[in-house]
Amino acid sequence: MELPLCPIPEEDACCPAETPLGSGQLYALDLQLAGWGPKARYYNPPVVLVLSLTDAHSVFVCQTYGDPDLAGPDDIALGGGFAGFAQPWNCYTLMRQDLGLHLGTVDALVAEMVRRQIDQGRFSPLPGSLLWFFRQMEVETGFFFSSRSVDQLLARHERASIPFPAGIDNGTIRRDLHSLPVRFPLVDLSAASVVDLLFWAEPDPKHLPLAAADTEIVPALVFTLEYGRLTAAEVVPLSVSFCEYADNLLTVTGSIASLPSGSRAWLFRWHTGGQLIEPLPEHAGHDNLLFWAAFPLTPEQATQPGHLVVRILREEGGGSD
């Protein structure tokens, strides 16, 4: 028996298309977005719950599902005549034009409970269980549709990058880094570029965030750039929600609990076999609290131990948003 794929509204509950977009609304994604994707699967557009309006072009949403029997302890029932639940562990950003039929609006408390659950962390189902397989497929479905917005989102956030001032040299950066709470591995960095130095700099172990055993945490280094000098470094935890290798491409997505203040540039590398591998051009970025990166790896590199390296630059003084 095929399970329902989306929440089912009460009869005549659908709202007219001209209803202003807002938090708490349920939308089925545009049917034209359906198609074949990874793992030779056909992806049907899910129903999503709007959590916030990111900007004039995009929305931050939570994916939903219509069968309450597949809800976990951290899922949030939609209520109000909708037979389904919201998935706080499966949230992402979409372009507004991705939204299709408006199905109705849930109680304002539901969206607030979802946002609270995102901040509190996530329950980890037993690997190999029905709930574990279900959640894997749901995350893959969300990524299939959200990743289509990446190019447009990157174009809009291009101004968020913070270039180093012209004329800055490695010597200056090296001196700044050695005065910060970071350390360097025992490798030859004499020919390393300014950006490479940021990636090779490792957080002081005393400042690493503690993580629950069921949560994959990446400690990102946030560097403060002030009038062309690195003046501070702090560690912020990132939560990885999706990591999969297919077709010689490793795709990683995740979220950050809160954004550092100031202008930001997000830089990504995959560290494996003593190498720092760059993501594909225009296949890495961030939007609101989410980030994503896709790295070209050979099958041999993919089988080696590796980890995501993230550096965030924030600017204070001498810059503009």
Q: Is residue 163 part of a domain?
A: yes
Which residue, 131, 156, 181, sits at the end of a domain? 156
Same domain, 310 and 162: yes
The structural domain count of the chain equals 2
Domain assignment of residue 263, yes or no: yes
Same-domain status, 72 and 141: yes
pLDDT at 152: 54
Please tell me whether residues 248 and 180 are part of one structural domain: yes
Give 128-185 pLDDT, tens digit per residue: 899 999 999 999 998 888 876 654 555 454 444 445 554 456 677 788 888 888 888 7
Structure tokens that stand for 20 in this block? 């202003």
Q: Is residue 290 part of a domain?
A: yes
**Residue where a domain stops, chosen among 105, 125, 156:** 156
Do the strands 229-246 and 290-296 form a parallel or antiparallel pair, or are they unpaired? unpaired
Residues 174, 97: one domain? no
- On whether residue 1 sits in a domain, the answer given is no
Residues 221, 244: one domain? yes
Q: Which of 124, 156, 188 is the last residue of a domain?
A: 156
Structure-token pair, residue 288 = 């609101």
Same domain, 37 and 146: yes
> What is the pLDDT at residue 176?
86
Q: How high is the pLDDT of residue 159?
A: 40
Query: Which pTM was predicted?
Result: 0.52
Stretch among 18-22, 77-81, 120-124, 164-168 having the lowest mean pLDDT: 164-168
Does 4 score more than 50 pLDDT? no
Average pLDDT over residues 30-34: 91
pLDDT for the residue 74:
92
Confidence of residue 305 (pLDDT cuts 50, 70, 90): very high
pLDDT value, residue 2? 38
Domain assignment present for 4: no
Do 178 and 71 sit in the same domain of this protein? no
Same domain as 180, residue 149: no
Res 284 pLDDT > 90: no
| Residue 7 falls inside a structural domain | no
Q: Compute the mean pLDDT over every residue in the chain, rounded to the nearest whole number.
A: 81
Q: Which range marks the domain in which residue 30 is found?
A: 25-156
Has residue 263 got a pLDDT over 80?
Answer: no
Residues 116-139, mean pLDDT to the nearest whole number: 86
**68 located within any domain:** yes
Task: Say whether both 303 and 166 belong to one domain.
Answer: yes
- Domain co-membership, 143 together with 228: no
Question: pLDDT: is 204 or 69 the higher one?
Answer: 69
Q: Is residue 8 situated within a structural domain?
A: no
The answer, yes or no, to whether residue 83 has pLDDT greater than 60, is yes
| pLDDT on residue 246 | 86
Q: What angle do CA 219, 224, 230 make, to 5 degrees?
A: 110
- Both 72 and 207 in one domain: the answer is no
Mean pLDDT along residues 100-124: 86
Residue 320 tokens, joined: 């503009």
The residue-averaged pLDDT of 214-242 equals: 84
pLDDT band, residue 12 (cuts 50/70/90): very low
Residues 137 and 166 in one domain: no
Give the pLDDT mean for 79-83.
87
What percentage of the chain exceeds 90 in pLDDT?
Answer: 34
- CATH number of the structural domain spanning residue 66: 2.30.30.110
